[in-house]
Amino acid sequence: MATVIKPTTPGGPPAAKTYSAPTQFAPHPEGLIAGNHDLATLGDKIADVSIQVTPTPRAWWMFFLLGFTLLQGLVVGVGYLLYMGTGVWGINQPVAWGLAIVNFVWWIGIGHAGTLISAILLLMHQKWRTSLNRFAEAMTIFAVMCAGMFPLLHMGRPWLFYWLYPVPVNFGAWPQFRSPLCWDVFAVTTYFTVSLVFWYIGLVPDFAVLRDVARNRLQRTVYGMLSMGWRGSAIHWRRYEKLYLLLAGLGTPLVFSVHTIVSFDFAVSIVPLWHATIFPPFFVAGAIFAGFAMVIWLAVPLRQFYGMKDFITNKHMDLCAKVMLGTGLLVNYGYFCELWMSWYSHSIYEWDTTLQRIWYGPYAWAYWMLILTNGVIPQLLWVDKLRKNMVVLFFVALSVHIGMWFERYVIVITLSRDHLPSSWGRYAPTEWDYMLFAGTIGLFITLFSLFVRFVPMLSITEMRELLPTAQGGRDGHAVMENAK
Amino acid sequence: MTSTLDETPKVYGLLAEFGTADELVHATQSAAAKGFSRMDGYSPYPVGEVADALGFPRSEIGAIMFIGGLCGATFGFVMQYYLNGIDYPLNVGGKPMFSWPQFAPITWELLVLTASLSGVIGLFALCGLPQPNHPLFNVPQFARATRDRFFLCVEATDPQFDLTTTRDFLDTLKPLSVAEVPE
């Protein structure tokens, strides 16, 4: 049994509870779990946050209040938008898409790393996914919620969104299924639903853990209901693992298809520099790049303020940084490919739009901002020492967030330079555009803060499996071997 | 209602507690070799060998998801062609009415959606969940099945079940405890 120090003395400050197994174990061979844990201490450390034994760090309140404040911007922004119409945004002809689509693609790209970590790395037997998948999946769900809001609001009359679905209504018209915009609706809805059930299925055994360690009736009831009465039967586990594996197997092509379809929104048009076959792979690489930046952003405070360094070790941060660097190179290859193809194609429209984009157009600064933040700054991660420095890593991730936002901005703003100079125009977002963007950031921070506080932020079940056999675990994630 | 108070309380089964996964695997194998068939293992994380020893080598989830996905994809494809090609023919850029490549994305998305949802519904339906209460929850130490203990429950419905002899058998497996599970 673990050493348990009773956490609080009435009136006094809460005593820090230590989580260490009574017997001393050898360090984890791959450096994936630090500290000295057995099944009980590992579960307690994660579960105690959800059942409110771990004192809530002051930083949590700061994050939550920041998010909640920004969230009010969303309320005001959406309220005014619905009252006035989309004219309050900076969109016009020819730039009819504007920030709404920039933010949509930015958010949905961030979401993709969650699926990548939980599904693709699972299929590839990467044990290090285990420490990251739960909060990365939460990130996916919240990011897709933020993303979905933009196209909905961009419709102008969002209450008619059901026209996008084949609902039998009396006007007798059907959606146009040959349009990428219609594909987008199905892709994003499916992505959100599947991510949600994948997340929930992973959570069911963890809710059962919380039910059994709950400190009061309310917790026991709520977590008990969420756990659906899970009791860890071997027969149930067998079905569970098979389902989990198959969901991962479906989730992997799903994530590729979703961002491919998002890129089709652009690539299927005939706008110069949009009409490119490089778009789908380039968009998917960009999504993973951005998503890992967000995983790093979320992991740093979890380590810092919730003391999760035992489970999200330096090794994990190093691996995330490497994936970010690798996908960043793919993205930069995409930038090169765009330039190369427009030159090599000998299309005057392609080449002139390229020159406008990178040299004499009004938004050339945005392109160079993109190259700086996405191309140059991430190269710092080649240096081993910098990858292990959390401050540097945090700022490189910030640079990637800015860069990926500018990437979509540069793409959307291409609308300002069409084939005909007579249809050229300019675009500037208004304060309502920015307020809505800030508002979705607020929504994301608020939801994520609440998630960290009330739901196990790391998968207790899978972390226990990851423990070496001597410590009570199964020495790694055995889903692949046992899923039958 | 006639009183049943004087009868012996009904028993769900006998629950043996183990400290490690390997002990549970060994115990389940021994019990299976002894001829017990109505039993189940409980563990904080999946231990595949237990399910193997229980004679449940393969779950039904794969078949369910395959059928679910197939239905969803077929429905999606037929729906798109029927709605855009027959019920309300829509000519887009002079493409043929049966422009099947353009129906592929939504067909695929619906395949994933229906396969996933049928898998999830299948899991809960087959496991009989949600089931908020279960006789096993009456045993106090069973709370540690989600913590650090591994349990084997031989159920009273097993033809070989007998309170005394089964308990004696379970004792030979060197469990940490053996408890009677009231119904």
Instruction: Annotate A4-19 with b (16+ C-beta within 10 A) or e (fewer).
Output: eeeeeeeeeeeeebeb
pLDDT on residue B122: 95
Q: Assign B10 a pLDDT band (cuts: 50, 70, 90).
A: confident
pLDDT on residue A142: 95
**Min Cα separation B32/chain A (Å):** 14
Evaluate the omega torsion of the peptide bond into residue B57 and state whether it is cis, within 30 degrees of 0: no
**Coil, strand or helix: which one is A31?**
coil
The DSSP call for residue A398 is H
Contact B50, A477 (CB under 8 A): no
Most confident range, picked from B25-34, B67-76, B96-105 = B67-76
pLDDT on residue A150: 92
The pTM of the full predicted model, rounded to 2 decimals, is 0.90
CATH number at residue A18: 1.20.1630.10
Domain enclosing residue A89, as ranges: 3-483
Angstrom CA distances, A372 to A288, A327, A406, B7, stand at: 19, 16, 10, 81
**Min Cα separation B88/chain A (Å):** 7
**Coil, strand or helix: which one is B45?**
coil
Q: Distance between CA A305 and CA A61 in Å, rounded?
A: 11
Q: Chunked in runs of 10, what are the mean pLDDT values of chain A (484 residues)?
A: 45 62 81 83 89 88 94 94 91 89 92 85 84 91 93 89 83 86 92 93 93 90 92 91 91 91 89 88 90 92 86 90 93 93 91 91 92 94 90 93 93 87 89 94 95 92 87 70 72
**DSSP string computed for A102-140:** HHHHHHHHHHHHHHIIIIIHHHTT-GGGGGTHHHHHHHH
Q: Distance between CA A7 and CA A456 in Å, rounded?
A: 19
Q: How many CB pairs under 8 A join A and B?
A: 209
All residues of chain B having their beta carbon less than 8 Å from the beta carbon of residue A257 are 105, 108-109, 112
Say which residues have a Cβ less than 8 Å from residue A365's Cβ, sequence separation at least 6.
Answer: none
pLDDT on residue A104: 93
All residues of chain A having their beta carbon less than 8 Å from the beta carbon of residue B83 are 166, 174-175, 177
Task: Judge: A238–B59 Cβ closer than 8 Å, yes or no.
Answer: yes
What number is the ipTM of this complex? Answer: 0.91
Q: What is the pLDDT of residues A371-424, one digit of tens each?
A: 999 999 999 999 999 988 889 999 999 999 999 999 999 999 988 888 888 888
All residues of chain B having their beta carbon less than 8 Å from the beta carbon of residue A209 are 44, 146-147
The amino acid sitting at A404 is M
Say how many domains are in chain A: 1
**Min Cα separation B65/chain A (Å):** 8
Q: Distance between CA B129 and CA B149 in Å, rounded?
A: 22
pLDDT on residue B5: 55
Q: What is the pLDDT of residues A172-222, one digit of tens each?
A: 788 889 989 899 999 999 999 999 999 999 999 999 999 999 889 999 999
